[in-house]
Structure 1
Amino acid sequence: MMSARVGLSSVTRRVAFAPIIGRNQIALRTVIPKRGVQIQSLPSSASEEILNAQRLKRPSSPHFTIYQPQLTWLSSIANRATGGALSALLYGFSLAYLVAPGTFDSAHIVEFVAGLPDYVKYTGKIILAAPFTFHFWNGLRHLSWDTGKFLSLKGAYRAGYAVLGATAVSTVALVLM
């Protein structure tokens, strides 16, 4: 006896029982015209100009108008500024000594400073001592971070306040010498 399978094939079932929405989407895709996208060729210099224009609109980092000032990034900025200022001072004095060694030798500098009023001497000492001591103590803080210490938020702030305190004490000590 031969048995015949009665029913619809799988493809016929899918088409017959597919939701009407699915069948209509296929019809709509062919009816709705596709939008064309206009493109244009640009020389390589134009792409650089577009990129530079986009860069001008980007915010600086950290974005000063959004974020509240924090000790960690303020001390980072101050560390870079003091390092740059101290380097510029050292290189400037070294170049001046190379150009005119008779004018910038120790005897002439001591003689010049001795003739200044006391308030100018103390102001000059503060201007030189504060960046030097801050950069020194903050450098030690960075070295401690390299060893894995004070890396938590609480530790970073404690170390930051310690740097500020040590800077104040050592600046006063250097000025009073």
Structure 2
Amino acid sequence: MFTQRAVQQSMRRLAVSHPSAALTRFATPAAVATNSHYMQTRQAATQMTSQSDGINMLAQQRTHRPVSPHLGIYRPQVTWYLSALNRITGSILSGGFYVFGAAYLVAPVLGWHLDTMSMAAAFGSWPVFAKVLAKLTLAFPFTFHGFNGIRHLAWDMGRAMTNRQVQVTGWAVVGLSVVSSALLAFFL
């Protein structure tokens, strides 16, 4: 570092004391030191145009730009779907908890009966198909988001990061989510 600084200062002193054509290959330090004509410049041509001509010129230039590839040209992968489904289930779960919590707080004021006994009695009066469907609808987002969260924690620890392992763990999360949500819906 010291030698580099010494050489640079020496070159600057030399450029100031003996500006010559031989120093043009060191244009950057020489130009900085001498503030002379060794600076690189580029000529730019400009012309006055009206606003509508400028807009038309930009529109014409845009036709020559490359088109960005759309997702439709790529082969869908399990990671895409699981990433989207993880966000969707997280939003459903958090939104559902917030909505139910707010409804539970304002229920006495509005005369709603959201206490446990009233909800259990209402749920018990449903037909079996509706009960299983409601439990499945509530269980799947919870189990999927939970299992996928464990998968993401493994990734945060640097585990299962190869393409093959990501696909295997993705399909394992899907299988575990379906089986566990079905077990919760049918047997609880």
TM exceeds 0.5? yes
Q: Match of 1:71?
A: 78
Q: Where do residues 11-160 of structure 1 align in structure 2 (5 Å cutoff)? A: 36-38=46-48, 63-101=70-108, 103-160=113-170
Cα displacement (A) at 1:36: 4.3
5+ long unaligned stretches in structure 2: 1-43, 52-66
Q: Match of 1:173?
A: 183
Cα displacement (A) at 1:37: 3.0
Question: What TM-score do you get using the length of structure 1 for normalisation?
Answer: 0.65
Q: Deviations over 1:3-33 (max 9, x none)?
A: xxxxxxxxxxxxxxxxxxxxxxxxxxxxxxx
Distance 1:91 1:72, change over 3 A: same
Q: Deviations over 1:90-147 (max 9, x none)?
A: 0010000000146111111101101111111111011111111110100000000000
Aligned equivalents of 2:50, 2:162: Cα separation in 1:
52
SS in 2 for 1:96: helix
SS in 1 for 2:74: coil
Larger Rg: 1
SS in 1 for 2:129: helix
Aligned equivalents of 2:72, 2:145: Cα separation in 1:
27
Aligned equivalents of 2:126, 2:78: Cα separation in 1:
37
SS in 2 for 1:100: helix
How many residue pairs were aligned? 128
Amino acid at match of 1:173: L
Amino acid at match of 1:77: A
Cα displacement (A) at 1:63: 3.6
Distance 1:174 1:63, change over 3 A: farther
Cα displacement (A) at 1:73: 1.4
Distance 1:63 1:77, change over 3 A: farther
Amino acid at match of 2:84: I
Of structures 1 and 2, the one with the larger relative CO (CA 8 A, separation 6+) is 1
Cα displacement (A) at 1:66: 1.7
Greater per-residue helix proportion: 2
Query: Percent identical across equivalent pairs?
Result: 39
Taking only aligned residues, the RMSD between alpha carbons, in angstroms, comes to 2.6
Q: Deviations over 1:129-168 (max 9, x none)?
A: 1111110100000000000011110110011011011111
Question: What TM-score do you get using the length of structure 2 for normalisation?
Answer: 0.62
